[in-house]
Amino acid sequence: MSESSAVPQPPVARKAPVERTHHGETFVDDYEWLREKESPEVVEHLKAEHAYMEAVTAHQQDLRNAVFNEIKERTEETDLSVPARKRGWWYFTRTEEGRQYTVQCRVAAADSGDPVADWTPPVVEPGVPFEGEQVLLDGNAEAEGKPFFSLGGLAVTEDGTLLAYAQDNAGDERFTLRFKDLDSGELLADEIENVFYGLAFSPDGTRIYYTVVDDSWRPHQVKVHVLGTPAEQDEVVFQEDDPGMWTGFDLAPDRRELLISVGNSEYSETHSLDLVDPQSAPRLLLSRDERILHGMDPLDTPDGRAYLLTHNRDAVNNMVSLVPSAEFAKPLAEQEWATVLPHRDDVKVEGTAVTRTHVVVSVRQDTTERVLVLPAAGLGTTGQGPAAEPSFDEELYTCSLANAEYDSPLIRLSYTSYLVPPRVYDYALADGTLTLRKETPVKGGYDPSAYVAERDWAVAADGTRIPVSIVRRAGVEADGTNPALVYGYGSYEISMDPAFAIPRLSLLDRGVVFVVAHVRGGGELGRPWYEDGKKLAKKNTFTDFIAVTEHVVARGWADPRRVAAMGGSAGGLLMGAVVNLAPHLYRAVVAQVPFVDALTTILDPELPLSALEWEEWGNPITDPDVYAYMKSYTPYENIASVPYPRIAAVTSFNDTRVLYVEPAKWVQRLREETTGSEPVVLKIEMDGGHGGASGRYEGWKDRAWDYAFVLDALGAVERI
């Protein structure tokens, strides 16, 4: 055989055994040395892995190109968002053909005295400059010459004269904060390194509040910067020292106070900071000691300042209560909380938003996200008005609040489904009128009637009914011959909600049945659905996914020899666990930024986010039962001598959420143990973060790579 036709051979990492002992059990890890990110040997090994991946998948390049071109041809590349008003300006973003990043723009708003007219967005044309249009920030110019570009926050002062923006040029989600004078277009001298998500100006625009992460990438401080002073003098407004608690803040709707929250997935704590008084200190409203998971929105009532609480106090699926500010000074048992929305077993309350005249509540019912609107007058009393709900025709859809500006007579809603491209509606608070402002265009003659999305139910081994979403071309029959891709996540109470995706059309048009497994650990069926898929019930997530796979095969939607699976991050852990439990069910698996070495990570509190994970998975450091349970399912420790399907692990060198080392170690052990001949590859983006490479075209290339890997494995290369 000539060298040019030789079968590519994967790189073999040297073994350097390291013992990890906990609770009397020792695990020997041969590949922990791959964690040394600065080591030239590690970098060379990762480059060799990438070269092997390119060699093994080289024949897929034409297919990747085809999928990429289909995405590009269906996308309106020169487009813009619907303008949204804040104070005296309409803000919107533009995209332009051939350019990777969005351009942040604004035009002046008019005040005629007619509230509806004044809050009706101007008609701005794609690619056509609007009279008086101002470019706030051009992402393309900012990204030029840099390996990566992402914005972590934008804020404008109340008077509209100053822009703050946080920029990441590495992919590690550590941002540099800069300030731009919007009158002159010049940058201020102020610059702050290593800030996290979240920015808020004081009402007078002289101070800005931001968060900072610790060495384990946990946001633990809220700091304030006074413009014109050195960043070294920035004061710590709030600091959280518990390694298991995450810190963040929200700006009150009337922008008079900052709500600082700390919490985990099981309970939280809220402090209020008066933004009008620069000398004020945070005031504790509801302590973590009460073990209540909650969120707050302040609002003014005839009796003074009060807080709208979404909480789980005696309400597993949450309820909404109204609490006067003064009540928080009392012991919890003596506080008076007025019910706004009572608890329901079949409705999960996700949160609230407040305008001057109304309250908007995000809820989940029958697995789908929707909104309710209540008048603020009489809230929490016998005079409270009924809740209104915008209605839509489809069964499977997602309706979420996009914007609720405090003084506006309208709220903005986002709507999408598996078949309907994203829509933007304005909802009139006075009479419930829905006005469609935009539907994202899909070029190439897209016809939603050519596709079908339907709900099915699989049954787990314990009798639990699992929601399944099945998306396909209308002509595809349940005859047992179809290729199928099963997608899942199932952690952190995150739901896989119906949403339109142009790239997915490239799968459907090749006859692939796209299946979403709404497994336990997600939030689709309320809080109990989540709790039945975490900690010592985590294995339900994995067995649910397998049950869904077996169900779609049994129903005839999939040929048992043509099924692939895909998931990312915690969904990548799902992929690793499933492929250990049932490798025979899948022809191929794509694990995106996969959390496949979860036990090693969570056992080390110094690693990014590890301590925060204890409320999701349990604490294996202190609890031997948690350690034994995790040890029995974590993918890296449970690789067996079985024939694994072809597997692609996709990661980024600078990912701080799931470190590259996890999939790098995983693929080594998979190749070592598999008794089959299918390739196992590692695709690593050396300049990307948790979401891969930056830029929309690079994102399309990433999706085309994933889908081509699946389509090639399933023998579904040609469009039908």
Which residues are identified as catalytic?
Answer: 569, 655, 690
Q: How many Cα atoms occupy the beta-carbon half-sphere of 581 within 13 Å? A: 19
Residue with tokens 């939603």: 448
Query: What is the helix (H) or strand (E) element at residue 698, kind and residue range?
Result: helix 696-714
Instruction: Give me the phi and psi of 52, to 5 degrees please.
Output: -65, -45
576 token code pair: 């690793």
Which of 207, 190, 192, 212 is closest to 275 using CA atoms? 207
Q: Residue 696 belongs to what H/E stretch?
A: helix 696-714
Residue among 542, 554, 576 nearest 658 (CA): 576
The span from the CA of 700 to the CA of 702, in Å, is 5
d(CA 75, CA 82): 17
Distance, CA of 36 to CA of 409 (rounded, Å): 55
The answer to whether the CB of 473 falls within 8 A of the CB of 446 is no
User: DSSP secondary structure string, 318-384?
Assistant: -EEEEEEGGGGGS-GGG---EEEE--BTTEEEEEEEE-SSEEEEEEEETTEEEEEEEESTTTTSTTP
Q: Which pair of tokens denotes residue 626?
A: 């948690």
Secondary structure of 28-68 in HEC code, one letter for each residue: EECCHHHHCCCCHHHHHHHHHHHHHHHHHCHHHHHHHHHHH
H or E stretch at 672: helix 661-673
Pairing status of strand 358-365 against strand 347-354: antiparallel
Helix (H) or strand (E) holding 27: strand 25-29
Listed in order, strand segments (DSSP E) in 409-522 are 410-417, 423-428, 434-439, 451-459, 465-473, 484-487, 513-517
Distance in angstroms (rounded) separating the CA atoms of residues 195 and 210: 7
d(CA 195, CA 712): 42
> Distance (Å, rounded) from C-alpha 703 to C-alpha 72?
12
Count of C-beta atoms within a 10 Å radius of residue 239: 13
Spell out the residues 6+ positions from residue 602 whose beta carbon is closer than 8 angstroms to its own: 610, 613, 614, 617, 619, 620, 621, 630
Closest CA to 441 of 81, 121, 64: 81
* Sign of the alpha-carbon torsion through 643, 644, 646, 649: negative
Rounded alpha-carbon distances, angstroms, from residue 37 to 33, 297, 663: 9, 43, 14
User: Maximum distance among all alpha carbons in the chain?
Assistant: 87
Query: Using an 8 Å Cβ cutoff, are 569 and 604 in contact?
Result: no
Concatenated DSSP letters for 619-657? -TTT-HHHHHHHHTT-GGGG--SS---EEEEEEETT-SS
Amino acid in position 538 = K
In 3D, which of 359, 248, 211 has the Cα closest to residue 297?
359
Residue appearing with tokens 């007619």: 114
Torsion-angle region of residue 279: left (phi > 0), alpha (psi -120 to 50) or beta? Answer: alpha
